Structure 1
Amino acid sequence: MSTETIALRPGTGLPRQGKPHGGRGRRLALTIVSKYGTLIAMAVMILIFGLGVPNGAFLSSNNLLAIVNQSALTAIIASGLTLVLVVGEMDLSIGYAASLAGILVTGLMANQGLPLPIAILATLLIGALIGTVNGLLVTKVGVNAVVATLGVGTVLIGLAYGYTAGSPIISVPTAFTNITLGRFLTIQNPIWIMIAILAVLWVILNRTPPGQRMQAVGANKNAAHLAGLRTDRAKITAFIIAGVCAATAGILLASLLGSGTVSAGDGYLLDSFAAVFLGAATLRDGDFHIIGTLVGVLVVNVGFNGLSLMGTPTFWQFVFKGGILVLAVALSTLARRYSKA
């Protein structure tokens, strides 16, 4: 005759209620998806495109290097956005700032006759000024970040049209186009520039007091304020860095195109947000970080490249772009939820 042992809840004499069958396994599966789903998705895409694209063109070294090169400008602008999101704010002006930067750097050379280094430096300073305006509006004036940066971005569109009358600026020196067309150790210059910028921002965010303050502000603004941290300064610094990164991407884009065009950088806004949110669901519990952002950018560009090589109609690329953004936010939300569970 067998007996059944019933576990009792301490001090109550009542049976202990266990977790639903399979709950632990379900939680583990969702945790894995939330932290490693981005890497899994990239591996699946590489496998599909590797098998689906004829003649192994997708997995060729030239194409893989091209994907990284195509990712460089998005990674630069997205890395600046990462810092803004780390402090708990948003920046919807980055794409428009990149477009304006491309116009300014080419215009300063073609119209004002400034030397290349001076034109680049002046454009970077304008990017920092845009970030400063965003930061002051959000912290000192108290305007919601979405409204403030969207308004600033709209102003930038107007300034770009006012400066160019809607016409591209095409008279640029060869030295300017060589910035992105040149190579070092057989690798395109934009890749090296991306590596340098991401490395600097990683160090700033993880190994310096300003970066630690940014993370503290993003984790709990009130606690950071009570601890004596200058929360406004941390946010303004993040916006300034985002503005400089956007200007850098705009300069490189103008160099790549050989001209300054009013709306050239606008499309980087959605791509950057998708990449940063995908990155937040990579190796971390929903936290924004530089390495994750790079992974997110690569996922987006692997998808674009593979769809293009497979001859997929253009409208599917827009479907992919919108879908990947929704998926990115969902994965990031899952990561945060299960990190707190």
Structure 2
Amino acid sequence: MSRLASLPSLVGSGRAAFARHGFLAVVGLAIVGFAVANPSFLSLANLVNIVSGAVIPLIVGLAMTLVVALGAIDLSVGVALDFGSAFAIVALKDYGVPWYLAVAIGIAGGTLVGVVNALVVVRFRVSAFLGTLGVFFIGGSLQRIFTNGGGPISFRRLPTEYYDLAVGDLYGIPIRILIAAALVVGYFLLLERSALGRKIHAVGQQSRAARVAGLPVGAIVAFGFVCAGATAAVGGLIASANLRMFTPLAGNAYLMDAIAAVFIGASMHRDGRPNVPGTLTGVLFLAMVANGLNLMGLDFNLKDALSGVILVAALAFSVIQHRRRT
């Protein structure tokens, strides 16, 4: 009888534990399932492939983390990525500039998108959602006009140094991973270990209170959008170096994954705020799911459906964890 009497409490504690660690449970089940379906999933080569493939989504996710930390959203990060790619490739192909100058020009292209966002949101007081949505449409249209309908601009004779941004290595470590690691460290120090980071979170949580406290809210928000545009452009440099071309509208493919990764990470934080370790976890999780489903050789449509189911489950458990903490 005593065992039967304690059964409800055991079930309740089991549910509570599952709610607390639901996201980790989903991740663990996904890893086991993919490993059983294809043993090569856990091979070192494939794990390196997962991390390497997550570089560009991570860079875009970091840009989105900064903007969401400000209490805003940036639907034009894909445009910034595309502009970074286009500016660099055109500078190399049509003007023959040195590779390092092409890198600077590409980052300037993404920064330009961030400056436009800052003007629209801060100067003209348009909501971040509508303002960046407008930039999204304008940027996409400009890309189609410039390429006469959306054709890629290829340049097979890339300088070796530029090409190495995507495929080169330093002491056996891929350069693209080193670039992403440097950005992760930089963003972590900015958002979690600096006075400016505390101001960014203050603006994101209570912009009116931050303004009353004397913080330059407009300047901080503008900085966030400009920095996000420049960061996304770095992803465009790596993408163009990898493919040796600029593909119009390619950056749009990273938008939803970046948003999902940021909110997965935010729901895992004790205060429910965007954070760099959480975004990194979210990006790696999404990359793992995509890689595992590809190894299973599923039909394209079925793969997207399963990916959506796993993502919804992970987000649901992350939200449950956050609610239990708060």
Same fold (TM over 0.5): yes
Residue by residue over 1:214-270, the C-alpha shift from the partner in whole angstroms, topping out at 9 and shown as x without a partner, is 011112112211211111222111111210111110111011111111122220001
Q: Are 1:220 and 2:206 an aligned pair?
A: yes
Residues 62, 186 of structure 1: alpha-carbon distance in 2 compared, 3 angstrom cutoff: same
Residues 325/151 of structure 1: CA separation in 2 closer, same or farther (3 Å cut): farther
Distance 1:178 1:328 in 2: 35
SS of the equivalent of 2:55 reads helix
Q: Which residue number in structure 1 is paired with residue 196 of structure 2?
A: 210
CA distance in 2, matches of 1:228, 1:25: 47
How far apart, CA to CA, are the structure 1 residues paired with 2:33 and 2:294?
13
2:4 corresponds to: none
**Aligned residue for 2:113?**
130
- Asked if structure 1 preserves the Cα contact closer than 8 Å seen for 2:83 and 2:109, the reply is no
Percent identity, aligned pairs only, is 32
Q: 1:184 aligns with which of 147, 167, 170?
A: 170
Q: Does structure 2 conserve the Cα–Cα contact (< 8 Å) formed by 1:38 and 1:296? A: no
In the TM superposition, what is the alpha-carbon distance from 1:163 to its structure 2 partner? 2.3
1:151 to 128, 134, 144: 134
Change beyond 3 A, Cα 1:87–1:206? same
Instruction: Give the Å deviation of 1:60.
Output: 0.6
Distance (whole Å) between structure 2 residues aligned to residue 202 and residue 320 of structure 1: 32
In the superposition, the TM-score normalised over structure 1's length comes to: 0.86
Asked if the contact 2:56–2:238 (Cα under 8 Å) also holds between the matched residues in 1, the reply is yes
Provide the secondary structure at the position in 1 that maps to 2:250: coil
- The runs of 4+ residues in structure 1 deviating greater than 6 Å are 21-24
In the other structure, the counterpart of 2:20 is 32
Cα gap change, 1:286 to 1:328, in 2 (>3 Å): farther
Q: CA RMSD, aligned part only?
A: 2.3
Question: Equivalents in 2 of 1:136, 1:29: separation in Å?
Answer: 47
1:1-341 matched pairs, under 5 angstroms:
25=13, 28-29=16-17, 32-33=20-21, 37-53=22-38, 56-165=39-148, 166-171=150-155, 172-175=157-160, 176-323=162-309, 326-327=312-313, 330-331=316-317, 333-340=319-326
Give how far 1:22 is off: 9.7
Q: Which runs of 5+ in 1 are unaligned?
A: 1-20
Partner Cα distance (2:308, 2:188) in 1: 28
Match of 1:6 in 2: none
Q: Match of 1:32, as an amino acid?
A: R
Q: Deviations over 1:41-95 (max 9, x none)?
A: 2222111111111xx2111100001000000111011011001001110000011
Distance 1:150 1:336 in 2: 29
Q: Tell me the distance in 2 between the aligned counterparts of 1:85 and 1:108.
A: 32
1:152-210: CA deviation from partner (whole Å, max 9, x where unpaired): 01111122122222322212414222221111222211111110001001001111121
1:288 is paired with a residue whose SS is coil
Rg larger in structure: 1
- Counterpart CA distance in 2 for 1:331 and 1:124 is 37
8 Å CA contact retained: 2:63, 2:232? yes
Cα pair distance change 1:22/1:40, threshold 3 Å = closer
Q: How many residues align?
A: 316
C-alpha distance 308-23 of structure 1, shift in aligned 2 (>3 A): closer
Greater fraction helix: 2
**Greater CA deviation, 326-335 or 61-70?**
326-335
- When normalised by structure 2's length, the TM-score is 0.89
The change in CA–CA distance for 1:220 and 1:237 in structure 2 (over 3 A counts) is: same
Task: Choose 305-314 or 24-33, whichever is displaced more.
Answer: 24-33
Distance 2:115 2:325 in 1: 34
SS in 1 for 2:249: coil
For residues 88-145 of structure 1, what are the alpha-carbon distances to aligned partners after superposition, in whole Å with 9 as ceiling and x for unaligned?
A: 1000001122122212210111012222111210221221221122122112211111
* C-alpha contact 2:99 2:159 (8 A) present in aligned 1: no
